[in-house]
Structure 1
Amino acid sequence: MPRLRRIITRFAEKIAERKLQKRCALSIGAGTKISYRNLGQRPPAALTVGEGSIFQATIISDRENSIISVGNNTFVGNSRLVCAEEISIGNNVLISWGCTIVDHNSHSTDWTKRETDVREWHFNRKDWSHVKIGKVRISDNAWIGFNSIILKGVTIGEGAIVGAGSVVTKNVEPFTIVAGNPARVLQGVS
């Protein structure tokens, strides 16, 4: 029975991969493992994953021209990447399970601009002109602990560590450890 399950799983992955290749510019490096079925119904315009990586995240692409890039030897666990513009993840990065990385506010902070959102969604439309968007960058050798949230416009510096359950609203300096809600510097990385 386990052998049959593996065969069915591989077949489903191949179908999901082919569907994704038709809908976005896909570049996958040698030796990389991707869970294609997790990539969602709204893939980005471009998805690049480097060599030797493991990518298990769900992608929610909120705009047509969004770009997600992942470096070499990087692990992205069962997490969510919510992208309207660009999310960039470097080499040798570890992103644990349950994390959310989002490059936008999703809605305007002005209620008068939000009041038409639901009506527009019925027609698969969204007015992005009042939504704040900022590229998210996770630099090489960073480690994001489980259930952390990385918000728009944040850069996680090289070698930085984000403690489990943190909410990161500001840039994290290279080789520092941050944790909490909002994330605060605890110490440097030795």
Structure 2
Amino acid sequence: MNFYKHETAVVDDGAEIGDESKIWHFVHVCGGARIGRGVSLGQNVFVGNKVIIGDKCKIQNNVSVYDNVYLEDDVFCGPSMVFTNVYNPRSFIERKTEYRDTLVKRGATLGANCTIVCGVTIGEYALVGAGAVINKDVKPFALMVGVPAKQIGWISIYGEQLKLPLEGSGIARCEYTGEQYQLENGFVSIK
């Protein structure tokens, strides 16, 4: 395979790393991990055994992608954001058989220092603001902020807020790409 690995990074035997990926300083990738093409793993990233990272994902510094976390293509994980995999951890109780799956769908952005409580799905192209805490599923194209996170709007694929109501129906156009988005039955789609 053709990928870059900094001399301080550790990639365990068995890990699958796609072409053109970059693994920076002090990263540890466990042997069961599957990492796609063109992925960037920033300084001090940890990737567990039961993890799948899609093509062209960017995982910024100080992020741990624990077992049972699955990232589709083009996901952005901001600096120091947090994934969990056990809902009710105790140091004195073994709960490795209780890991809950977390799925982050294509093109979603997870802002710096946000926390994703395990067992949720983050929809396509959703944007989770810096410092937010996600404890329930997030709709595609949703803009989420706060603790716990609440939806405050809708976001385009380009990453700009759309002029759509939270509920009801409507049509909006992305100012930058001209793509048209439609809100109907509580979900946004490209028209």
How high is the TM-score relative to the length of structure 2?
A: 0.70
More helix by share: 1
Question: Is 1:139–1:159's contact at 8 Å kept on the other side of the alignment?
Answer: yes
Q: 1:76 aligns with which of 59, 69, 73?
A: 59
Structure 2 unaligned residues grouped into runs of 5+: 156-161, 163-191
Q: 2:38 aligns with which of 52, 67, 72?
A: 52
1:107 aligned partner, one-letter code: P
- 2: distance between equivalents of 1:144 and 1:54? 15
Q: Which residue of 1 aligns with 2:180?
A: none
- 2: distance between equivalents of 1:82 and 1:50? 14
Secondary structure of 1:174's partner? Answer: coil
Alignment of 1:100-111 (within 5 A): 100-105=82-87, 107-108=89-90
Q: 1:147 aligns with which of 113, 133, 142?
A: 113
Question: Is 1:45–1:67's contact at 8 Å kept on the other side of the alignment?
Answer: no
1:29 equivalent to 2:12? Answer: no
Q: 1:173 aligns with which of 108, 116, 139?
A: 139
- Root-mean-square deviation (CA), in Å? 2.5
Query: How high is the sequence identity, in percent, across the aligned residues?
Result: 22
- 2: distance between equivalents of 1:186 and 1:15? 41
Q: 1:87 aligns with which of 46, 63, 69?
A: 69
1:13 equivalent to 2:2? Answer: no
1:160 aligned partner, one-letter code: A
Runs of 4+ in structure 1 off by over 3 angstroms are 12-17
1:58 aligned partner, one-letter code: V
- 2: distance between equivalents of 1:13 and 1:92? 22
Q: Deviations over 1:102-122 (max 9, x none)?
A: 1213625xxxxx6xx1xxxxx
Secondary structure of 2:16's partner? Answer: strand
Q: Report the alpha carbon displacement of residue 162 of structure 1 after superposing the two structures with TM.
A: 0.2
Question: Is 2:51–2:69's contact at 8 Å kept on the other side of the alignment?
Answer: yes
Q: Which residue of 1 aligns with 2:159?
A: none
Number of equivalent positions: 152
Question: Is 1:82–1:103's contact at 8 Å kept on the other side of the alignment?
Answer: no
- 1: distance between equivalents of 2:25 and 2:100? 26
2:79 aligned partner, one-letter code: W
More strand by share: 2
Specify whether residues 146 and 173 from structure 1 end up closer, same or farther in structure 2 by C-alpha distance, changes over 3 A only: same
Q: Deviations over 1:68-103 (max 9, x none)?
A: 1111111000132252x4111111111110101112
Structure 1 unaligned residues grouped into runs of 5+: 1-9, 109-113, 118-125
- Tell which has more relative contact order, 1 or 2 (C-alpha 8 A, sep 6+): 1
- 2: distance between equivalents of 1:152 and 1:127? 17
Specify whether residues 162 and 16 from structure 1 end up closer, same or farther in structure 2 by C-alpha distance, changes over 3 A only: closer
